[in-house]
Copies of this chain bind each other. A is one copy, B any other.
Amino acid sequence: MANIFSNIPAEIADEIFEDIIMTETLRVERIISKGQTSPESGWYDQSENEWLIVLSGYGIIEYINGVKVILKQGDYLNIKAHEKHRVIETSLDEATVWLAIFY
């Protein structure tokens, strides 16, 4: 057993990506952010679908069509493969813990 809120460093210089489950068809990641955003140039353009939930903190996702979605605790979103998106804001005060299912 482990806890999704454990082992979160006080200082988070770079976003932390950790695999929780990895099979041929599935990847589950814990992502920890604290103020980080996607690189300026960077839209995520993924070959897999991504289901994303915020478990603490908050994050704002922007789609390439300009739509912005604020995700707070418990909010989840399904991002289809090749739906270009990026993270434009995450909580500075507390760590944002994301659980992401790539499938």
- Given A4-B53, A26-B26, A28-B51, decide whether A21 and B76 contact each other with a Cβ distance below 8 A: no
> Would you list which residues of chain A between 23 and 74 have a CB under 8 Å from chain B?
23, 25-26, 28, 51, 53, 55, 69, 71, 73-74
CB-defined contacts of A23 to chain B, threshold 8 Å: 103
Q: How many Å lie between the Cα of A81 and that of B103 in the bound state?
A: 19
Number of copies: 2
Q: Residues 71-93 of chain A: 1 if any B CB is under 8 Å from the residue's CB, otherwise 0?
A: 10111111000000000000000
A74 touches B55 (CB 8 A): yes
Q: How many Å lie between the Cα of A1 and that of B54 in the bound state?
A: 11
Q: How many Å lie between the Cα of A69 and that of B1 in the bound state?
A: 8
Q: How many Å lie between the Cα of A3 and that of B75 in the bound state?
A: 4
